[in-house]
Amino acid sequence: MTSALTARGLTKRYGRRTALDDCTLDIPAGRVVALVGPNGAGKSTLLGLAAGLLRPTSGEIEVLGDTPASGPDQLGRVGFVAQDAPTYANLTVADHLELGRRLNPRWDAKAAERRVTDLGLDTHQKAGRLSGGQRAQLALTLALAKRPELLLLDEPAASLDPLARHEFLQGLMAHVVDHEASVVLSSHLVSDLERVCDHLVVLTGSQVQLAGDIDEVTGTHYRLTGDARDLDALPPGAELVLETDKGRHRSVVVRSALPVVADRVQVEQLGLEDVVLTYMARAAAPTPRPASPSEAVR
């Protein structure tokens, strides 16, 4: 099966600033991907490159097996909703639907009209007079009506209230179920991502820190907490991810394909938010000490 997105050594610089640095990534088709990281990590740059709005400084990126924005057919296979859910303030909702119909050869007019009706949007109202949630829903409607195979969303619901975000995500997931589309969703709201995503990419400091299916990621990360002397050696097969020292008290996060069992220390399996925070903290911290050989914790 063709990957939804593949990057090899992908780099994007703006003058002296590096927004994305040697990014290598393979996102399988059919996944709903959570793209997370702090502000300035390169998330918007990655999505802009995938949408064909930007060109790499070096390296390669393929979307659905082709170069982004390489032609009308490729453009028609990808939907993109930017962070501010852009719409034309002086155009009505109906004008937006007509514009979508004229610009997109795979446009599904009936689905767009049905969705606008279900959302209760007034087709005669100008987009500039819609609420933030309504504009976000209109932008999503335009993207979905293209019938894209890959949908790229750059924090489109960040400014919405909880109810509006819930409705936005419901509409997104209905499309995924009906059309088996791939989605890359950038957001700071991990609780929202946890409800709808099955694949994770952590991007920090312009580099990919972690990528994988969420079930595998959360099933292989553990926090060990206890006396520093009891954590001098890691469990067999465990790889050190992050270490925090507080005098005699130490806390370490490890990644292990085997269940972690240890005496005299507390073992906790991490959830999605803790995994994300761990890799963000690791990127901001000094390089951790090398993992100990496969020795059992005393």
Highest mean pLDDT range out of 80-84, 212-216, 249-253? 212-216
Give every strand in the sheet of 199-204, ordered side by side.
78-81, 150-154, 182-186, 32-36, 199-204, 207-213
Rounded to an integer, what distance in angstroms lies between the CA atom of residue 66 and that of residue 82? Answer: 21
Instruction: Give strand pairing partners of 78.
Output: 150
Q: What is the mean pLDDT of the chain?
A: 89
Helix (H, G, I), strand (E, B) or coil at 72: helix
Distances (CA, A) of 193 to 21, 40, 115, 130, 165: 25, 19, 23, 26, 11
DSSP state string for 192-222: HHHHH-SEEEEEETTEEEEEEEHHHHHTSEE
Checking if the pLDDT of 294 tops 70, the result is no
Cβ-proximal residues to 79 (8 Å cutoff; 6+ apart), any chain? 143, 144, 146, 148, 150, 151, 152
Q: What is the mean pLDDT of residues 53-82?
A: 94
Over range 202-219, report the average pLDDT.
Answer: 94
The set of residues, in sequence order, having a beta carbon less than 8 Å from that of 113 and lying 6+ positions away, is 97
- The reported pLDDT for the residue numbered 246 is 66
Q: What is the pLDDT of residues 234-261, one digit of tens each?
A: 888 899 999 887 667 889 999 999 888 8
Question: What's the fold here for domain 5-213?
Answer: Rossmann fold (3.40.50)
Relative orientation angle of helices 109-119 and 132-145, to the nearest 10 degrees? 160
pTM: 0.88
**Would you list the domain boundaries of the chain?**
5-213, 219-284
